[in-house]
């Protein structure tokens, strides 16, 4: 009985960790209504910074799609790519926000936005994305 309870507790903690990492991914990288002119506003309101600090991120990419559409990349809508990443089979519209004032700290982050359509490479845990690896120009 104790072993079963310990296993259940460990499984619960693992699922909670995956959920937390997926929620962070969604906060940092999914925004259907994003535009190149909203980088400062969205990054500030979502409190996006370098992990564990108030330092502004050099770049942050937003995927202009629903969470459900991006989740599908971790399943049948993606293929293995590089080391531990999954590449989307279809391109997504994205906005890349690049820091203009290097070395700045939150809340003084100022970004320039650029839009494009790219394949995305993400790290998945189970059926959910937890890390944005990169965007890819597909040349076949």
Q: Which tens digit of pLDDT belongs to each residue from 56-75? A: 999 999 999 999 999 999 99
Which residues participate in catalysis according to the annotation? 29, 131
Q: What is the CATH number of the domain that holds 79?
A: 3.10.130.10
Closest to 110 (Cα-Cα) out of 37, 14, 23, 53: 37
By residue range, what is the domain housing residue 33? Answer: 2-136
Which value, to the nearest 10 degrees, does the dihedral of the CA atoms of residues 103, 50, 136, 94 take?
Answer: -90
DSSP-H helix ranges across the chain:
2-29, 39-45, 67-71
Name residues whose C-beta falls within 8 Å of residue 2's C-beta, 6 or more positions apart in sequence.
Answer: none
Report pTM.
0.85
Total tally of structural domains belonging to the chain: 1
Does residue 136 contact residue 118 with C-beta atoms inside 8 Å? yes
pLDDT given at position 139: 57
Q: What are phi and psi of 36, to 5 degrees?
A: -65, -25
Residues (pLDDT < 50) of the chain are: 1, 5-15
């Amino acid at each position: 009985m104790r072993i079963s309870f310990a296993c259940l507790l460990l499984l619960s903690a693992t699922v909670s960790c995956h959920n937390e990492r997926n929620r962070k991914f969604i906060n940092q990288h999914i925004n259907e209504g994003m535009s190149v002119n909203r980088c400062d506003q969205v990054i500030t309101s979502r409190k996006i910074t370098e992990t564990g600090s108030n330092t502004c991120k050099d770049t942050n990419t937003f995927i202009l799609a629903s969470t459900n559409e991006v989740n599908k990349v971790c399943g049948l809508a993606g293929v293995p790519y590089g080391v531990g990443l999954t590449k989307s089979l279809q391109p997504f519209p994205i906005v890349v926000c690049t820091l203009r004032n290097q070395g700045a700290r939150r809340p003084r982050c100022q970004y320039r936005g650029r839009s494009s359509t790219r394949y995305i490479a993400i790290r998945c845990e189970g059926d959910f994305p937890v890390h944005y690896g990169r965007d890819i120009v597909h040349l076949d």
